[in-house]
């Protein structure tokens, strides 16, 4: 079709402009005047809008929170909503993370998949529609967000000034189509430590994890032991049975124990090894006198343990559309005054927050453990017969000659923040999901194919 021919003609330009925006380090920084998320995201937005203007599109910058390129006429508009901000690059790159170097048909850089590459593919998809002279009955906006990785605060700002699209997608997930995103809730379970007298073996403090939505790969506990050898011997027995990576360091009567696990995203806890729960499981094998911190650890072991489905907490929800609830215990900390853990739960799309909280609150009765700092995102679900789902299925099948099956995920995308859109691509079935990982790359052929798929999707939604 004419659209695909136009994209092939712009292939080199698509690649070079994608490289241009990838070279901007757009990690959230300190807010500055006129730059609510720091210099990097503002610079990336300016770059995207300049590229859009050079392609002949009208552009709007909403105070460096968010901006868009617009094409066409009509009261209603269709949107492609992507983001230009990226997570920190981290270590372990074989090519500089903001060099956008091409090797073996791949562009390597932070943001190639998440989400600059797909956003540029959508922009050039719209350009192909414009070049082909195709008639649209709705306006089209390619919307450039700048805060998706750290809160999506720009979407609320946008919706105060603009009405939402009537349909659209975010190119920030997987193919074929994500029609369901689980509900997400996170909260702290906290116990005030009034009785700290634990006898000859005392838990002085523990600390592990960095974020509720990451499987913790480190945790440590400080003990004061009348006989440290007993602790060390117990640990040797425990690690020989479990294979867990836990080591002890003894200095006089002080014993520091460090547990090492394996990190993973909180929506996929089965891919990680929870260092906190490994350590708590070991502590359960030691003999303590009854005290508040020991009671707290016992409660966590008995009601969570190594489980990732919430069964012992009574929240093991499941449905046909999105599968089982997932549970991640991401943070644990105790000092002189209190102990707490932070949980991140992702529950099925047909369930509600009450389905999670009612049984959980029943489990907490009589424990003196409080549930605080509750955060919540409702599930997102488009039924299979929804017109948006049907349209994107048709496009995907036509452009790839593959069946457009439907997916539900534990992660969250812009689709939860902006009405009437769902996640569509850019990662093809079987492709590497390198979001947030070192050596993130996009295959050049995938970048071009995404542009074609997105162009046809835009056309079908706006014609």
- Both tokens assigned to 123: 């922009």
Rounded to an integer, what distance in angstroms lies between the CA atom of residue 4 and that of residue 449? 9
- One DSSP character per residue, 373-410 reads EEEEE--EE--TT-HHHHHHHHHHHHHHSS---EEEES
Rounded to an integer, what distance in angstroms lies between the CA atom of residue 149 and that of residue 41? 11
| Half-sphere exposure of residue 198: CA atoms within 13 angstroms, side-chain side | 23
* Residues 72 and 138: beta-carbon distance below 8 Å: yes
Sorted by sequence, the CB contacts under 8 Å of residue 12 that are 6+ apart come out as none
**Residue 180: C-alpha distances to residues 164, 326, 378, 415, 423 (Å):** 20, 15, 11, 10, 9
β-sheet bridge partners, residue 59? 69
Q: Burial of 101 by CB count in 10 Å (0-12 exposed, 13-18 middle, 19+ buried)?
A: middle
Query: Which of 28, 114, 148, 399 does the annotation list as catalytic?
Result: 148
Active site residue 435: no
Sorted by sequence, the CB contacts under 8 Å of residue 320 that are 6+ apart come out as none
Rounded to an integer, what distance in angstroms lies between the CA atom of residue 51 and that of residue 75? 25
* Cα-to-chain-centroid distance, residue 101: 26
Interaxial angle between packed helices 275-283 and 292-303, expressed in degrees from 0 to 180 and rounded to the nearest 10: 120
Query: Would strands 77-83 and 139-145 be described as parallel, antiparallel, or unpaired?
Result: parallel
Sorted by sequence, the CB contacts under 8 Å of residue 366 that are 6+ apart come out as none
**Phi first, then psi: what are they for 43, rounded to 5°?**
-65, -40
* Residues 395 and 425: beta-carbon distance below 8 Å: no
- Both tokens assigned to 386: 């929804």
- Both tokens assigned to 8: 């092939």
- Both tokens assigned to 316: 């093991």
Active site residue 85: yes
Rounded to an integer, what distance in angstroms lies between the CA atom of residue 341 and that of residue 329? 7
Q: What is the DSSP letter of 314?
A: T
Q: Burial of 94 by CB count in 10 Å (0-12 exposed, 13-18 middle, 19+ buried)?
A: exposed
- Both tokens assigned to 360: 């959980």
State the first-to-last Cα distance of the chain, in angstroms, to the nearest integer. 16
Annotated catalytic residues are 85, 148
């Amino acid at each position: 079709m004419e659209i695909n021919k136009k994209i092939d003609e712009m292939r080199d330009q698509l690649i070079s402009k994608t490289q241009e925006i990838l070279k901007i380090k757009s990690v959230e920084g300190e807010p500055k005047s006129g730059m609510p998320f720091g210099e990097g995201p503002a610079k990336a937005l300016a770059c995207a809008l300049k590229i859009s203007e050079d392609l002949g599109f009208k552009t709007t910058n909403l105070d460096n929170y968010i901006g868009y390129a617009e094409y066409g006429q009509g009261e209603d508009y269709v949107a492609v909503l992507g983001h230009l901000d990226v997570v920190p690059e981290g270590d372990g790159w074989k090519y500089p993370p903001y060099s956008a170097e091409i090797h073996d048909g791949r562009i390597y850089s932070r943001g190639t998949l998440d989400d600059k590459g797909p956003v540029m593919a959508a922009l050039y998809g719209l350009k192909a529609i414009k070049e082909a002279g195709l008639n649209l009955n709705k306006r089209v906006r390619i919307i450039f967000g700048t805060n998706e990785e750290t809160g999506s605060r720009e979407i609320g700002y946008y919706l105060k000034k603009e009405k939402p699209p009537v349909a659209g997608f975010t190119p920030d997930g997987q193919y074929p189509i994500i029609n369901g995103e689980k509900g997400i809730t996170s909260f702290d379970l906290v116990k005030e430590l009034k009785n700290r007298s634990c006898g000859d073996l005392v838990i002085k403090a523990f600390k592990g994890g960095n974020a509720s939505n990451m499987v913790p790969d480190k945790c440590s506990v400080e003990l004061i032991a009348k006989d440290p050898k007993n602790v060390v011997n117990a640990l040797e027995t425990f690690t020989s049975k479990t294979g867990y990576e836990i080591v002890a360091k003894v200095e006089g009567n002080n014993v520091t124990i460090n547990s090492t696990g394996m990190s993973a995203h909180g929506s996929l806890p089965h891919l990680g090894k929870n260092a906190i729960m490994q350590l708590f499981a070991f502590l359960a094998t030691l003999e303590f006198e009854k005290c508040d911190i020991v009671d707290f650890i016992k409660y966590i072991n008995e009601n969570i343990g190594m489980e990732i489905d919430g069964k012992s907490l009574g929240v093991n929800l499941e449905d046909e559309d999105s599968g089982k609830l997932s549970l991640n215990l991401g943070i644990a900390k105790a000092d002189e005054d209190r102990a707490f853990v932070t949980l991140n739960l992702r529950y099925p799309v047909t369930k509600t927050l009450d389905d999670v909280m009612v049984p959980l609150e029943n489990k907490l009765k009589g424990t003196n453990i409080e549930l605080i700092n509750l955060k919540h995102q409702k599930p997102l679900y488009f039924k299979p017969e929804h017109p948006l789902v049907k349209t994107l299925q048709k496009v995907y099948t036509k452009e790839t000659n593959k069946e457009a099956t439907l997916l539900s995920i534990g992660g969250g995308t812009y689709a939860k923040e902006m009405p009437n859109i769902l996640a569509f691509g850019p990662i093809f079935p079987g492709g590497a999901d390198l979001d947030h990982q070192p050596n993130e790359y996009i295959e050049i052929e995938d970048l071009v194919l995404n542009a074609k798929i997105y162009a046809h999707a835009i056309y079908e939604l706006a014609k």
